Chain A
Amino acid sequence: MDLSFSDEEQAFRQEVRDFFAENLPSEMSDAVRAGGELSKDMMDRYHAILNAKGWLATTWEPEFGGPGWSPVQRHIFEEEACRAYAPRIVPFGLAMLGPVLQQFGSKEQQDHYLPRILSGEDWWCQGYSEPGAGSDLASLKTRAVRDGDDYVINGQKTWTTLGQHANMIFCLVRTDPDVKQQQGISFILVDLDTPGIEMRPIRLIEGGHEVNEVFFTDVRVPAANLVGEENMGWTIAKFLLTHERTNIAGVGFSMQSLEEVKALARVVKRNGKPLAEDPLFAARIAQVEIDLEAMKITNLRMLYKAQKQGAPGPETSILKIKGTVIGQELKDLARRALGPAAAPFPGSIEGNLSLAPADHANDAARYFNNRKTSIFGGSNEIQRNILTKTMLEL
């Protein structure tokens, strides 16, 4: 048993840290600190900075333009990115579709799409969930019917994150309604400029626009856009979900949140003293800090296992459940710490009249927005079902 990183890993950490120190514009880290929505332009420019270094597609193999990192290296990169307050890499093309195309795509698809993901020419979004198919994804109804060299798609997708910035969408569609649900699903790539597609914004609880619904009416998509064989979409979907789960514990983000809450508690006053000196609040912070320290090790143990076995196992559901709860707890503490200073709707009072300390005016909004993390990517209830089946074998 040895909890230390190897010399090579520590040197790698230093290299990443130096890279961010030298290359991450302060306007980006400032925007991340402030906790509002980032512009498409800023996300594009951040991607370009990483791409120039060859560090954008962290999970891709070198032959496709990835850095060929081990799971531990990816973990170190994520930690350092959070430490530097770098934006999040938008995952849909890079972390989700890229690995799918590398595993299941044709040579033509790989040659065409992968470079466009790296260059930022294509911005992908995800067409998975439907109004009637959330936790029960396999019950999806969006229909694709073969007609000559095309598929004709009709149906509706929802919760399409950052779809407003996208020009492409990858979808799960039903190609055979007469077989067992999972066996009649296909994975297809759709250009959002195709006639018959309408994207509508969904406004979230805190007022922000980050998800959308997408309507398909007689949308003709070339059959060449199918990934893998017809009706093998569920296999691809499951493969993609395991990639969606890299960094699922969100340890780096929680470490960031913990530091933010501690700093906030030092400047906010309660009972005439800094809130950090209030034993009740200090206890709340300490409690989450203990959980987070344990989660760091749980995360590393599972990374280690994944590195040894070649793939993460079903126990990563533990990371999703506990990791999201820790993250939510920290956002809850930041909101609480503000007291009445959390009252204003974001942006409704600014400048020198702002009630909250710098970078904390969005903390209540972030708390509400963060409730999504225990719902998306397979709700925490679904994760419990997975653990019940795979670990408890009940």
Chain B
Amino acid sequence: MDFDLTEDRQMLSDSLTRYLKDKYPFEARTKVAYAAPYHAPDRWAELSELGALFALAPEDAGGFGGSGFDISVVFEALGRALCPEPVLAAVLASRLLTAAGADQESLLSGATKYAVGLGELEAPYELDLIATEATARGEGHVLNGRKSAVYGGQVAEVFLIAAKFEGKLAMFEVAASAASVTGYAMMDGGGAAEVLLDDAPATLLIADAGAALQDAVNAGIVALCSEAVGAMDVLHAMTVEYLGTRKQFGRPIGSFQALQHRAVDMLTEIEQARSITIKAASELGGGQASRYASMAKNLIGRAGRLVAEEAIQMHGGIAMTWEYPGSHYAKRLVMIDHQLGDTDFHLSRVMAA
């Protein structure tokens, strides 16, 4: 048994954390997060140089990681800094390109930005209900449909699109120029896009992609859960610091037992969240990966909301303001539940398994 990070992962974690603190401080982050294109090109290249993207893919696909723990280390650091860059899109895409045996050097080097179109308005989380359709046309294929809330889609040059083809769920590559892409800011910062496909020329990458798409989602869930753990750690620390410094009735509010116990309850939930995330990361790629990804996403949904709401409440008005970093951590924690399946969706999957 060993719950410590390997030396390599610890180094990646440390250098990423240092870099983000230095180059992506809170003020810079908030500016990027809410102003188009919700992405800083310079920072993206630097993140790749630091290995944040290469860590997402296994060695035989050109990376140096690709396991659940590699993804976890990167996203915990991103979560601590509340980084709005579209790294989630890179995880999903890298996973799919690896499954397809396709070259992903330009993705990992940061030269080309990918985004993955999975969810649709009528099927936000359910892969088996995807309605976007592919048809053979000439030598290739065309796609028709609408992909919704495509994370990182506002800056993507290439889309990987899940679509029905000949009764199966398949995966296609589509150039951004072949689709109608409308980008927007997200509630919690960062960008996404609505992607409309109207006879969009597409290249078939995987004809029977059900398993590969589920694996990509599982990897994305490990990423989001790790990001949440990083964000929860920071928000909890902010709350505890505030309890120690904010004075009312002549003493620090942290001297009131009613608040002390609630801060401890937050801590307990965060440790549980960390544990289930470690479990999901360890199972990624294996036969039980989906089950543990669903468990993790359910628990993270509950813990994230609790930590966000309790942090706001115990700060009082100050964490209701845009200016205070804690409010942005709270927003991110709540909105993570809207990505790749929410608390109830994953609860029902655990129930059905």
Contacts and interface: CB of A to CB of B under 8 A. Distances in A.
B348 interface: yes
Closest 8 CB pairs of A and B: A340-B149, A203-B322, A136-B248, A349-B184, A345-B185, A348-B184, A339-B124, A205-B327
Interface residues of B, number: 49
A339 B125 contact: yes
A372 B320 contact: yes
A136 B126 contact: no
Contacts of B337: 336
Contacts of A204: 320-322
Given A203-B322, A339-B338, A344-B185, A136 B258 contact: no
Interface of A: 129, 132, 134-136, 139, 158-159, 202-207, 269-272, 278, 280-281, 284, 332, 335-336, 338-346, 348-349, 353, 355, 364-365, 367-368, 371-372, 374-376, 379-381, 384
A296 B182 CA distance: 45
10 contacts: A203-B322, A269-B122, A278-B344, A336-B343, A339-B125, A344-B187, A345-B184, A348-B184, A372-B320, A375-B317
Interface string B155-166: 000000000000
A interface, over-half SS: mixed
Nearest to A138: B249
B303 to A, nearest CB: 15
A344 B126 CA distance: 20
A339 B342 contact: yes
A58 B248 CA distance: 35
A381 B348 CA distance: 35
Contacts of B70: none
A159 B317 contact: yes
Interface in B182-205: 182, 184-187, 192, 194
B331 interface: yes
Contacts of B331: 205, 368
A341 B187 contact: no
Interface stretch (B105-113, B206-214, B215-223, B308-316): B308-316
Nearest to A332: B305
B247 to A, nearest CB: 8
Contacts of B249: 135-136, 139
* Residue among B123, B194, B327, B338 facing the most chain A CB atoms (10 A cut-off): B338
Given A280-B348, A371-B320, A345 B187 contact: yes
Given A202-B321, A365-B187, A371 B312 contact: yes
A135 B248 contact: yes
B175 interface: no
* Residue among A207, A271, A343, A372 facing the most chain B CB atoms (10 A cut-off): A343
B244 to A, nearest CB: 16
A135 B321 contact: no
A278 B125 CA distance: 14
Contacts of A332: 305
B316 A134 contact: yes
Given A139-B248, A384-B258, A271 B129 contact: yes
